Amino acid sequence: MADAASQTYDVVIIGGGPGGYNAAIRAGQLGLKAALVEKRSTLGGTCLNVGCMPSKALLHASELYEAANNEFAGIGIDVKPKLNLAQMHKAKDDSVEALTKGIEFLMKKNKVDVVKGFGRIAGQGKVEVEAEGGAKTTLETKNIVIATGSEPTPLPGVDFEDGKVIDSTGALFLPKVPKHLIVIGAGVIGLELGSVWRRLGAQVTVVEFLDKVGAGMDGEVATAFQRGLTKQGMTFRMGTKVTGAKTSKDGVELTLEPAQKSENGGGEAETLKGDVVLVAIGRRPYTAGLGLETVGVTPDQRGFIANDHFKTSAPGVWVIGDVTHGPMLAHKAEEDAVAVIELIAGKPGHVDYDLVPSVIYTGPEVAWVGKTEEALKAAGVNYKKGKFPFAANSRAKINHETEGFVKVLADAATDKVLGVHIYGPQAGELIGEACMTMAFGGASEDVARTCHPHPTRSEAFRQAAMGVEGWTMQA
Ligand SMILES: Cc1cc2nc3c(=O)[nH]c(=O)nc-3n(C[C@H](O)[C@H](O)[C@H](O)COP(=O)(O)OP(=O)(O)OC[C@H]3O[C@@H](n4cnc5c(N)ncnc54)[C@H](O)[C@@H]3O)c2cc1C
């Protein structure tokens, strides 16, 4: 690192996750003098260290393990797989290490000073960094970008306890497969990590307050998705509230109640026992010790720092990623990052939050972008719908992965694509084409009349788009 204290930066970014490190790269590209402050020993934030990447490593490995157990014999490969969980964790950790080192390289390539330590805003244009040993440095800067991310939300009455009541980070490092894993929360993280441990041999029960899995997901997809997970062996307790937890040496006993009491006040409390409980009810913004008061910024009631085109209420202090409003996703943080730096550099910077896709990396995957049918109905939009099942897609059939469908929603008058919802194989890869179509203001006919390669799952998207005007050809 250059002598950080002796110079004035154009921008100091606090937090080295997808928001922070992408902001740093863009700043370097645009010739801004930038520093990136990170309290962890490695860069990459939640996503690389304890989020997207390690969870995907376990999802990939556990999917192969399950396929080796249940599917290989059917296609003529006789094997008897034996789980080596320690090696599975090592492979995950090695991949994470390589990725975080890659970010260090990108910082050097873009001439960004990385300052390791806890960053605290110390008034306008000043960030004080306390290194692990306690040494303090003050960075002078024209702009501060807050990218401090988020942390797991705890559930009142259910205290975390190492190895027994865990958060998502705990679930990425379990040293043995639980007999009965109870997941509180049927959102993305709970269903992904629940899938990992079910595939590796755990009985998995998911307890969810709402009546629908995958909050925010299109209703038709949610129903099919829950049915699919149930078929795989997951048990769901929907519309159920967890009111307390008691741990003992054998595990954890949860107290459950119906989320909505019946009219006569009924709905008895009951208990559910497991050996590990994963609390996955969401994430909350992280601003502890950040010194926001020194620049007069007050987080809102839920702890988020509000922004107006990434500007906070304090001049020269900007905010991006999970710690501000919008979907808590790595690619959203990355979009914010590019836009905020372009604005700081005097360029136009903009993010279209309607086009931020969501993916759940279960098997099969769920992915969507744009409006759900429920949202279109609520807004009184007149829309048309095309739907195509993977059971009729030749590539999916050949690969024995026929569960699910693609649904395209388009404006009834203009044919503009308003939403695309996919439940099926590689949905996360397929949704990019839908994002691109929508970013260009494309119509369903644009997709329907675009030649797609055969045989690919992407043909299912084209066939669904054809369905908007009623000319699906292959089903
Ligand atoms: C299990 C799991 C799986 C996930 N999977 C996906 C996925 O598949 N796809 C996806 O898009 N998203 C996923 N996410 C969400 C994703 O990780 C976050 O949306 C993303 O990391 C947010 O980026 P960020 O830069 O805003 O914050 P973070 O990644 O949280 O980074 C913030 C960084 O700031 C540092 N920091 C905080 N305060 C200070 C301070 N005062 N001084 C110095 N450093 C500080 C933190 O140590 C951290 O490294 C997942 C999350 C979890 C937990």
Using the predicted structure, report yes or no on whether residue 186 has a pLDDT greater than 60.
yes
260 shares a domain with 177: yes
Q: From CA 54, how far away is CA 81, in angstroms rounded?
A: 22
Using the predicted structure, report yes or no on whether residue 2 has a pLDDT greater than 50.
no
Position 158 in a domain: no
27-52: pLDDT as tens digits:
999 999 999 999 999 999 999 999 99
Q: Is the CB of 40 under 6 A from ligand 1?
A: yes
Q: Is the CB of 37 under 6 A from ligand 1?
A: yes
Q: Is the CB of 45 under 6 A from ligand 1?
A: yes
Q: What is the pLDDT of residue 131?
A: 97
Q: What is the pLDDT of residue 261?
A: 72
Q: Is the CB of 59 under 6 A from ligand 1?
A: no
Q: What is the pLDDT of residue 397?
A: 97
- End-of-domain residue from the set 262, 281, 300: 281
Q: What is the pLDDT of residue 215?
A: 78
Rounded to the nearest 5°, which phi and psi values hold at 56? -70, -35
- End-of-domain residue from the set 265, 281, 297: 281
Using the predicted structure, report yes or no on whether residue 129 has a pLDDT greater than 80.
yes
Number of separate domains in the chain: 3
289 shares a domain with 277: no
Q: Residue 200 belongs to a domain with what CATH number?
A: 3.50.50.60
Q: Which helix (H) or strand (E) holds 244?
A: strand 240-248
Whether pTM > 0.95 for this model: the answer is yes
Residue span of the structural domain in which 368 resides: 364-468
Residue 100 Cα to ligand 1 midpoint, Å, equals 13
274 shares a domain with 291: no
144 shares a domain with 10: yes
Cis peptide before 455 (omega within 30 of 0): yes
Using the predicted structure, report yes or no on whether residue 1 has a pLDDT greater than 60.
no
Pocket test for ligand 1, best of 36, 40, 42, 47 (most atoms within 8 A of CB): 47
247-282: pLDDT as tens digits:
999 899 999 999 987 666 556 899 999 999 999 999
Q: What is the pLDDT of residue 401?
A: 96
Q: Is the CB of 329 under 6 A from ligand 1?
A: yes
From the list 106, 51, 102, 114, the residue with the least C-alpha distance to 333 is 51
138-184: pLDDT as tens digits:
999 999 999 999 999 999 999 999 999 999 999 999 999 999 999 99
- List alpha helices for 233-296, DSSP H: none
110-123: pLDDT as tens digits:
999 999 999 999 99
429 shares a domain with 349: no
Residue 109 Cα to ligand 1 midpoint, Å, equals 22
Using the predicted structure, report yes or no on whether residue 7 has a pLDDT greater than 90.
no
Which atom of ligand 1 is least distant from the CA of 44?
49
Q: From CA 232, how far away is CA 194, in angstroms rounded?
A: 11
Q: What is the pLDDT of residue 250?
A: 87
129 shares a domain with 66: yes
Strand 150-152 and strand 383-389: the pairing is unpaired
Neighbours of 232 (CB within 10 A): 15
Q: Residue 383 belongs to a domain with what CATH number?
A: 3.30.390.30
Annotated catalytic residue 309: no
Using the predicted structure, report yes or no on whether residue 434 has a pLDDT greater than 70.
yes
Q: From CA 13, how far away is CA 103, in angstroms rounded?
A: 15
- End-of-domain residue from the set 353, 378, 410: 353
Position 372 in a domain: yes
Position 358 in a domain: no
Position 270 in a domain: yes
Position 473 in a domain: no
101 shares a domain with 213: no
Strand 203-207 and strand 365-370: the pairing is unpaired
Q: Whose CA is nearest to atom 2 of ligand 1?
A: 51
pLDDT range class, residue 300, cuts 50, 70, 90: very high
439-470: pLDDT as tens digits:
999 999 999 999 999 999 999 999 999 999 99
Maximal CA-CA distance, the chain: 70
201 shares a domain with 63: no
Q: Is the CB of 290 under 6 A from ligand 1?
A: yes
Strand 276-279 and strand 180-184: the pairing is parallel
Residue 286 Cα to ligand 1 midpoint, Å, equals 10
294 shares a domain with 212: no
From the list 89, 103, 22, 25, the residue with the least C-alpha distance to 55 is 89
111 shares a domain with 254: no
Position 359 in a domain: no
Catalytic residue among 325, 400, 421, 454: 454
Q: What is the pLDDT of residue 460?
A: 98
Q: What is the pLDDT of residue 190?
A: 98
Position 405 in a domain: yes
Position 310 in a domain: yes
Torsion of the alpha carbons at 61, 182, 330 and 362, rounded to the nearest 10: 50
> Per DSSP, which regions of 288-382 are E strands?
317-319, 358-360, 365-370
Which atom of ligand 1 is least distant from the CA of 322?
26
72 shares a domain with 14: yes
Using the predicted structure, report yes or no on whether residue 312 has a pLDDT greater than 80.
yes
431 shares a domain with 369: yes
Q: Is the CB of 148 under 6 A from ligand 1?
A: yes
Amino acid at 131: A
